[in-house]
Amino acid sequence: MAIQLPPEWIPQCCVMLTWPHENTDWNYILEDVTRCYINIAHEIAKRERLLIVCQDEEKVRSLLSDIEDRILFCQMNTNDTWARDHGPITVYVDGQPCLYDFQFNGWGLKFAANLDNQITRNLYASDLFPAHTGYFNFLHYVLEGGSIESDGCGTLLTTKECLLSKNRNEHLQQNEIEDFLKDIFGLKRILWLNHGWLAGDDTDSHIDTLARFCGKDAIAYVQCTDKNDEHYEELKAMEEELKSFTMEDGNPYFLVPLPMPDAQYEDDFRLPATYANFLIINGAVLVPTYQCKQDMVALGRLQKAFPNHEVVGIDCSTLIRQHGSLHCVTMQLPLGVL
């Protein structure tokens, strides 16, 4: 049996969003975050379809009436909106798509997730998917989509801080976790980062906030050059680790440093703003921006990393107020899933 965990840049059939509502943590800025979601939805709809999980389909449909022909809606109750971590992770098994459903426990029991943990199985039960799309339930294992990066060729990039954290799979040792991931994702190897951290991050250092594959031979990563910044030592150590990593053929990766945006705060607490939280879709890379001077630098560097894609900035100043960004609220579904 051949299993592949595809990279994000392969052709996609749609992107999933879980829509904010008044019973989520967004309630105090619901109008602002809804506007951000509408912007994200429109940029995606220009290039592919959307799958929108929402608590009130009629209300969301009215907000997106101009693109509703590009949207599949699925109404259900949700705790929150972080589709990257409660949505399905797609693999190909002998060339056919299969949805993996892991346990989502609110990033190590930090937040309520009883409803969000049911989203993937509810989606599969809703008859949205064709008969050839498989489904496998891994509810004995906690894993979030934001914690793993695949090059599509058998290499996984992740962080020890997250995958070895307490309240996820603490009954397993690193070698047991590695064997499990290699087995279910068809991996040849795992590159573990020992370093990498952002203030205000609730995820225990998800890889999608720190370092991302831009092809099988390139990695974009957060670089801190200010020695007075609280992140400097940890991100410098991460940079040295990335420089030491090699591809399967022994050659080093081409590294794309992304700047740190100006520090963002909510109630005097620093937020984990990062340009690494970009989303690759059909023909474009959607990049979170934060209304600061580093936005254009990040967009320019990612354009060089993705010369065949349109690089589009989306203001995510509102999203970061709940400690996440663009990649965190989306989950791509590769071609053949719908």
Give residue 1's pLDDT: 83
CA distance 325 to 272: 9
Task: Give the residue extent of every domain in the chain.
Answer: 3-334
Span between the terminal Cα atoms of the chain, in Å:
22
CA distance 133 to 14: 14
Q: pLDDT 10s per residue in the chain (338 long)?
A: 899 999 999 999 999 999 999 999 999 999 999 999 999 999 999 999 999 999 999 999 999 999 999 999 999 999 999 999 999 999 999 999 999 999 999 999 999 999 999 999 999 999 899 989 999 999 999 999 999 999 999 999 999 999 999 999 999 999 999 999 999 999 999 999 999 999 999 999 999 999 999 999 999 999 999 999 999 999 999 999 999 999 999 999 999 999 999 999 999 999 999 999 999 999 999 999 999 999 999 999 999 999 999 999 999 999 999 999 999 999 999 999 99
Instruction: Give the CA distances from residue 227 to residues 29, 58, 102, 231, 234, in Å, rounded to whole numbers and listed in that order.
Output: 34, 51, 39, 8, 11
pLDDT digits 0-9 by tens, 221-274: 999 999 999 999 999 999 999 999 999 999 999 999 999 999 999 999 999 999
Taking the whole predicted model, whether its pTM rises above 0.95 is answered as yes
Residues near 166 by beta carbon (within 8 Å), at least 6 away in sequence: 108
Give residue 336's pLDDT: 93
Assigned CATH topology for domain 3-334: L-arginine/glycine Amidinotransferase; Chain A (3.75.10)
Residue 175, classified by CB atoms within 10 Å of its CB into exposed (0-12), middle (13-18) or buried (19+), is exposed
